[in-house]
Chains A and B, each alone.
Chain A
Amino acid sequence: DGGITQSPKYLFRKEGQNVTLSCEQNLNHDAMYWYRQDPGQGLRLIYYSQIVNDFQKGDIAEGYSVSREKKESFPLTVTSAQKNPTAFYLCASSIGTGFNSPLHFGNGTRLTVT
């Protein structure tokens, strides 16, 4: 089955530690995205990538970093510089720019930092 796999489902970290969230897709989509979801705030874009080895900051990129070394993979690192990292993180993909296609989401990673 084609889809987006995020792992782990739940992640717990101590304050001051960096943590990396995994996102893999087998949909052959060019574009990949990271969103953060907080209660009452909707989805906020962290980073997106339209092609391999290229990515752009979204609305709330501070304290986060990404890489896109392979088409299938778009890991997100939450660094110690992120002031309020506890949230539900969603990875998504779409066919890509120039195509009229919606976003498809993974099932998310819930990160708790204490």
Chain B
Amino acid sequence: QKEVEQDPGPLSVPEGAIVSLNCTYSNSAFQYFMWYRQYSRKGPELLMYTYSSGNKEDGRFTAQVDKSSKYISLFIRDSQPSDSATYLCAMSNTGNQFYFGTGTSLTVIP
């Protein structure tokens, strides 16, 4: 079993829709959770960084962590064509070893 599971998609939504991206994990020791956005032929860009359970909001983005279910989510409100990218989840237990999902490809259609 992989440490982190992420549905690869692809996911296609109309502009303005709410997008929900999810990852599950198996290691209950994970404490730090990250979401990255990666455009084609570019490096991943950090979107959200959270510690432990709960919600964190930044503009149109909300990261949610449910440690009891070993499940994290990223919500994108009012999605825009510029949000079209691959979204990677990542997590860590020590702060120096990171485990990544395989990424979900998102297309927002104008």
**A43 at interface (Cβ–Cβ under 8 A)?**
yes
Contact residue range for chain B?
A: 20 to 34
In the assembled complex, the CB of A34 is this many whole angstroms from the nearest CB of chain B, namely 12
Pick from B46, B51, B88: contact of A100, CB under 8 Å: B51
Known: A42-B102, A42-B103. Contact between A100 and B34, CB under 8 A? no
A100 to B32, Cβ gap below 8 A? yes
B 85-99 binary contact with A (CB < 8 Å = 1; else 0): 000101000111010
Q: Are A105 and B88 in touch, CB under 8 angstroms?
A: no
User: Across the two chains, which residue of chain B brings its CB closest to A30?
Assistant: B96
Binding site for A on B (CB under 8 A): 8, 32, 34, 36, 41-46, 49, 51, 88, 90, 94-96, 98, 100-103
7 smallest CB-CB distances across A and B, nearest first, come from A105-B43, A42-B102, A43-B100, A107-B43, A97-B96, A102-B49, A42-B100
In the complex, per-residue mask of A79-114: 1 if CB is within 8 Å of any chain B CB, else 0: 000000000001000101111111111111010000
Residue A40 CB within 8 A of the other chain: yes
A residues near B, CB below 8 A? 4, 6, 31, 33, 40-43, 45, 48, 50, 90, 94, 96-108, 110
Q: A94-B96, A105-B43, A108-B43 are in contact. List 15 more A-B contacts (CB 8 A).
A: A6-B43, A41-B102, A42-B88, A43-B100, A45-B98, A90-B44, A97-B95, A97-B96, A100-B32, A100-B51, A100-B95, A101-B95, A104-B46, A105-B36, A105-B44
Residues of B within 8 A of A45 (CB): 98
Residues of chain B contacted by A48 (CB below 8 angstroms):
96
Residue pair A97, B94 in contact (C-beta under 8 Å)? yes
CB-contact partner of A107 in B34, B42, B100, under 8 A: B42
Docked CA distance A101–B94 (Å): 10
Evaluate contact between B96 and A90: CB separation under 8 angstroms: no
| Candidates A98, A103, A108; contact of B90 at CB < 8 Å | A103
Q: Which residue of A lies closest to B33 (CB)?
A: A102
Measured in the bound complex, the distance between the Cα atoms of B45 and A4 in whole Å is 12
Q: In whole angstroms, what is the CA distance A48 to B43 when docked?
A: 17
A9 (CB) vs chain B CBs: closest residue = B41
